[in-house]
Amino acid sequence: MSTPRATARRPRDAASSGRRTSRRPPSRAAIRRAELTRRRRRLLGWLLGAGLVLGVGLVVAPLFHHAVREITLPLKHEDIIRQQAREKGLDPALIAAIIYAESRFRDGQVSHAGAQGLMQLTPATARYIAQKSGGIAFKVDDLGTPQVNIAYGAYYLRYLMGRYGGNRTLALAAYNGGEGNVDRWIVSARRGDRDFRVSDIPFPETRAYVQKVLSAQRDYRRTYPTELGYR
């Protein structure tokens, strides 16, 4: 019995034997192309990220601006303000500024002196206005209604502007400090042969009030031109 011959084995190539073939190093052109590709990818990623941020910003920024404006310079009941400004011949921004200084547009405000509502009218002043304006059915509780409160406040402001010859400083000083005090301050200023100025107001609270309203009037006219009917 013959012994089987071993079959001849074919030598394995370099790859199958585990030996690595020598590779040529990449050319400079290939390196530059690879680097350019990486730069393009980074640039594309940056542009996509920037576009996403910009898109979100375009949506969020107006909402953020509106929220900040509502906190720092609130405005409500602009339809009533425009109506009363037309009827009383007043600047709507001035009415808004008084409401801002008196109550910051918060309904239901009552001061320690009993002044009520958005424009902070005392019951005595409101009854006087009701009598002059023909509001025979007026009740003090009506001051909590924005329509009534702003209407009466605008009526009183129109009265003060007329009494003091259209002088906003005097009218606002009287709105806060009382007509009797303003009358005395005017007499004192005339004795000094000069016009009455904000700095002549002896009450620090009233002086600060007048300055605050005049500043807020400018801000409301600039910030809310559409809402207050300027355009």
Query: Which residues are designated catalytic?
Result: 102
**SS3 call for 121:** strand
> What secondary structure does DSSP assign to 88-101, as a single string?
HT--HHHHHHHHHH
List alpha helices for the chain, DSSP H: 28-72, 78-88, 92-103, 123-133, 146-163, 168-177, 179-191, 204-223
Q: Which amino acid makes up residue 191?
A: R
Q: What are the C-alpha distances in Å from 169 to residues 41, 81, 88, 188, 213? A: 65, 21, 18, 16, 10
Report the b/e string of 99-121 with b at 16+ CB within 10 A: bbbbbebeeebeeeeebbbbbbb
Q: Among all chains, which residue has been given the structure tokens 């020598």?
A: 22
Q: Among all chains, which residue has been given the structure tokens 């605050």?
A: 212
Give dist(CA 107, CA 33) in Å, integer: 69
